[in-house]
Copies of this chain bind each other. A is one copy, B any other.
Amino acid sequence: MARIKTEKNTTRKDVIVSKAAILFREKGFKAASMRDLAESVGVEAASLYNHIKSKTELLHELCFSVANCFLQKLDEIESEPIPAIQKIEKILRFHIVEMVNNYEEVYVSDREWKHLNDPYLSNFQNQRRIYRKRLAAIIETGIKNKEIKPIDAATAVLILLHAISGIESWHRSKQKITAAALEENMVTILVGGLTV
C-alpha cells in the first residue's frame, strides 16, 4: 500500500502522465496497457483511476501540453523583428532542443495523436494545420525577400518537421554525437538547403 512518490511541485498525476509518456513511446498508445503503466508506477491498475479519468486523458495531456509549448514559442518568434530565415532557424533549433530534452512527450504527441477521440482529435488536427500554415507563411515571406530559395513552402515545412522527428533515431543509436553537434548538423543541412 505504498503511495506513489512525488517530488516537490509534482502531483501524483504528473508522475503517472510522465510514466505514460515513456510507455506510450516504447510500445505505442494502443499496445501499452493500464496494467503495464500501473506496474511502472508501482501500483495496481485500478489505483490509477484515483488520479486520472481515463487512458485517453493521458494522451490528451501529453499531446496538448506539447502542442501548446510549440505554439507559444511560435508566437514569440513570429513577432521578433528578424529576417524570415532566422525565424525558421530559431524555430528549428527550438524543435530540436525540445525533441532532445523532452523526447518521450514530444515523440508521443507526434506519433500517437491519431488515437485521440473527438473533440480532442479534430482540435489537435486543427492546431497542427494552423501551426504548419504559420510556418509556411514565414517561409513564403523569406522567399519574397530572396532569403529563401523559391520552393513550395508546404513541402519545406513538411521536410523540416519530419526531419526533426528523426531525432528519435539519434536517441536510440549507440554511438551518439553530442546534442549540440546534432543541432549544428541539422541546421547546416536544413537551413543550408533552404537558403538561396
Contacts and interface: CB of A to CB of B under 8 A. Distances in A.
Interface of A: 27-28, 30-31, 111, 114-115, 149, 151-152, 154-156, 158-159, 161-167, 169-170, 173, 177, 181-182, 185-186, 188-194
A48 B32 CA distance: 26
A192 B115 contact: no
A158 B96 CA distance: 13
Contacts of A158: 163, 166-167, 169-170
B193 A190 contact: yes
Contacts of A186: 155, 159
Given A31-B115, A189-B194, A194-B189, A177 B152 contact: yes
Nearest to A162: B166
Most chain B CB within a 10 A radius of its CB, from A154, A165, A170: A154
State how many copies of this chain the complex holds: 2
Contact of A149 (B28, B30, B192): B192
A132 to B, nearest CB: 8
A154 to B, nearest CB: 7
B193 A189 contact: yes
Q: Which 10 A-B pairs have the closest CB atoms?
A: A193-B193, A162-B166, A30-B30, A189-B193, A155-B185, A158-B166, A159-B163, A192-B193, A30-B31, A152-B185
Contact of A162 (B165, B181, B194): B165
Contacts of A185: 151-152, 155-156
Contacts of A181: 152
A156 B164 CA distance: 12
A161 B168 CA distance: 12
A77 to B, nearest CB: 21
Contact of A151 (B149, B151, B188, B191): B188
Nearest to A169: B158
Given A162-B165, A191-B193, 6 more contacts: A30-B31, A151-B188, A152-B182, A159-B163, A159-B189, A188-B193
